[in-house]
Amino acid sequence: MMDMLVRLYDLPGIEEELRKLGKEGILIRRPGVYERHLVADWVGRNFSPKWVSEAKTAFSRQPVSCYIATREKKILGFACYDVTARGFLGPMGVAEESRKSGVGKVLLVSALNALRELGHAYGIIGGVGPAEFYARTVGAMPIEGSSPGIYVDILPEP
């Protein structure tokens, strides 16, 4: 899985999508540190144990380097940044039933905007799964020779 590069100074606006999601009762926000166990549990049930480790790291930052999407106090998706490595986006995931709703785009752009606010001009999306989504949504470009990148000698799950 390759990495992708994003120009943080050229991100799309998400105001319209935020209004639409808000009308549907969906909130995009940073979780509180007191919600760490809840976010980690949700990530573990829906994605990978390795992503749980990375998501927990987001809660050691101030402010928390993660955004979540919720509706009726239920998590729909999450996007972390600056956890795997500085300037990296990820992990990020949206529950299957909430995909194609705009939640992923808003989480992605929110997290990338946070990287820009930290002073980065470019962000790296590490170990990309849905490359077409990132290219279409934020103009992400493949980084040649980036596989396996920083993901060398990863310990296997038991």
Total residue length of the chain = 158
- At residue 44, φ and ψ (nearest 5 deg) are -65, -40
pLDDT score, position 18: 98
The neighbouring-strand residues paired with 26 are 71
pLDDT score, position 119: 97
Distance CA 86, CA 120 (A): 9
Can you state the angle between helices 49-58 and 36-46, rounded to 10 degrees?
160
pLDDT tens track for 32-56: 999 999 999 999 999 999 999 999 9
What three-state secondary structure class fits 66? strand
pLDDT score, position 6: 98
**pTM of the shown model:** 0.96
How far from the centroid of its chain's Cα atoms is residue 6's Cα?
13
How far from the centroid of its chain's Cα atoms is residue 155's Cα?
23
pLDDT score, position 28: 98
The neighbouring-strand residues paired with 123 are 6
pLDDT score, position 43: 98
Which residues in the chain land under pLDDT 70?
none
